[in-house]
Structure 1
Amino acid sequence: MENLLRVGVISNTHGVRGEVKVFPTTDDPKRFKKLKKVILDTGEEYINLEVQSVRFFKQLVILKFKGIDNINDIEKYKGKDLLVTRENAVPLEENEYFIYDIIDAEVVNENGEPIGTLKEVLTTGANDVYVVETEDKKEVLLPVIDECILDINIEEKKVVAKILPGLVD
C-alpha cells in the first residue's frame, strides 16, 4: 500500500504475556516512544494495533499491544512487518525522503541517458548504496555521495547519477 511505511519487523516473542521483539527499520528507533498505533501486515490483511508499552533491549524494541496478552495471540506474526501511515511517519527535513519514494525510480546519467531502474537501497556504515538494474538485467551499485548522485527528484521518480570510473564494466 503506497501510503504505508515500514518501521519494523517482528523478530520474536518476548515472554508469555504477548510482548514482541521488533527489529527497527527506521533511522531512529527512539521514534517508537511516540508511536501510538501501528499496522501489522500479516501478508493477507492489515491489522490496526494500539501500542501499550515500549522498551528497548540492545538493538531491538520490545512492544506490547493493547488487547494482546498471550504469547499464542502474537507468535504467528513472527517475521511480519509493522507499518505506519505517512501521517504518522517522522516528519522529514528539507532534502530528505523515504527510501520507498525512490524505489523503481528511473536512473539516468548527467546527459539524461538511461542507466536503469533503482531496485534497492543498501544501508552501509559510510553511506547508502543504490542498486540499479540495467536494461539487460545487470546490477550497478552507485554510492550515495555527492560526486555520484547529482539529483533526486521524488515527484518525477528520477535520479541523476554520474558513473564514477570503475563502477560499470
Structure 2
Amino acid sequence: MNSLSNLLDNKISVAKIVNSHGVHGEVKIVPFTNVKDVITNLEEVLLYNTSTRNFFFSKVLQVKPLNKFFVLNLRGIKDMDEAKKMIGYEVFIDKKDLPSLNSEEYYWYEILDSEVYYEDGEYVGKVEEIIQTGANDVISIKNLEDDKEVLIPMTDHYIIELKKEDKSIIVKKIEWYENGTNQAD
C-alpha cells in the first residue's frame, strides 16, 4: 500500500479550494500559478487537506474562469454541502503534466527553497515565499542565522542568474539593503 508521502511524490500543488460555488457541487479554487493552462487543462487531480491529511482522487469534469479564481466541477461532488466539505483541500497534479516553459519562465516550486547569493558571493538566504504583486513576482528570502528577511523583485534588473536545476539564484543587492536596513529612504 502506498503511503501518503509516496502519493505526493512527483506531484505539485497548483491550487486550493476556497469555497463552494452554486448548488450543484462546484468548487472555487485560487490558483498557485499564473500559467492558466495548468488550471484549464486539469483532468485528474489528487485533492489533499494538509490539516486533516485526508485525500482522494477525482476527475475534473469542467473548468471555468471566474475573475482571479477558477470554478471546478469534480466527479463525486454532487451538491453544495459536499463542496463545502472540500474547502481547504489543495489540488495536486503530476509534475509531468505541467506545461513546458521556456528557459526564462519558472514554476514556483522550482525556486522555493533556492539558495540566494549576492553577485559578490555573499549569502543572502533561502527563498521562503513568492509574492505576487501584479507588476512582477517578489521573492522573500530568509536567512536563518540572523532571522532577516530580504525582498527582491523577480526582474531582469535584480536577478543576475537563476539556476532552477541547482536551486540557486544570484541577485543584485538593492541599494537600501546595503546600509543594513530594509527601509527605503
TM-score normalised by the chain length of structure 2: 0.82
Task: Report the counterpart of residue 66 of structure 2 in structure 1.
Answer: 57
* Conserved 8 A contact 2:130-2:139: yes
Counterpart of 1:143 (choices 145, 148, 153) is 153
Counterpart of 1:37 (choices 20, 44, 48) is 44
- Does residue 157 of structure 1 match 2:167? yes
- Does residue 5 of structure 1 match 2:18? no
CA shift, 1:89, in A, is 1.4
For 1:152, what is the secondary structure of its paired residue?
Answer: strand
* Conserved 8 A contact 1:122-1:130: yes
Report the residue type matching 1:3 in the other structure. N
- The alignment covers a number of residue pairs equal to 169
What does residue range 9-158 of structure 1 map to in structure 2 within 5 Å?
9-29=16-36, 31-43=38-50, 44-134=53-143, 135-158=145-168
* Conserved 8 A contact 1:5-1:89: no
**Closer, same or farther: CA 57–156 of 1 in aligned 2, 3 Å:** closer
- Percentage of pairs with the same residue: 32
CA shift, 1:46, in A, is 3.1
Give the distance between the partners of 2:92 and 2:42, measured in 1 at CA: 11
For 1:32, what is the secondary structure of its paired residue?
Answer: helix
CA shift, 1:69, in A, is 1.1
Task: Report the counterpart of residue 176 of structure 2 in structure 1.
Answer: 166
Task: Report the counterpart of residue 3 of structure 2 in structure 1.
Answer: none
Give the distance between the partners of 1:117 and 1:33, measured in 2 at CA: 31
TM-score normalised by the chain length of structure 1: 0.89
Report the residue type matching 1:32 in the other structure. I
Q: Which deviates the most, 20-29 or 145-154?
A: 20-29
**Closer, same or farther: CA 148–58 of 1 in aligned 2, 3 Å:** closer
Report the residue type matching 2:151 in the other structure. L
Which deviations, in whole Å up to 9, do the C-alpha atoms of 1:54-96 show, x marking residues without a partner?
Answer: 2233332111111221223232221221111111212212232
CA shift, 1:119, in A, is 1.0
CA RMSD of aligned residues (A): 1.8
Name structure 1 gaps, 5 residues minimum: none
Give the distance between the partners of 2:69 and 2:121, measured in 1 at CA: 42
Q: Which deviates the most, 66-75 or 107-116?
A: 66-75
CA shift, 1:30, in A, is 5.2
Give the distance between the partners of 1:79 and 1:6, measured in 2 at CA: 12
Name structure 2 gaps, 5 residues minimum: 1-7, 181-185
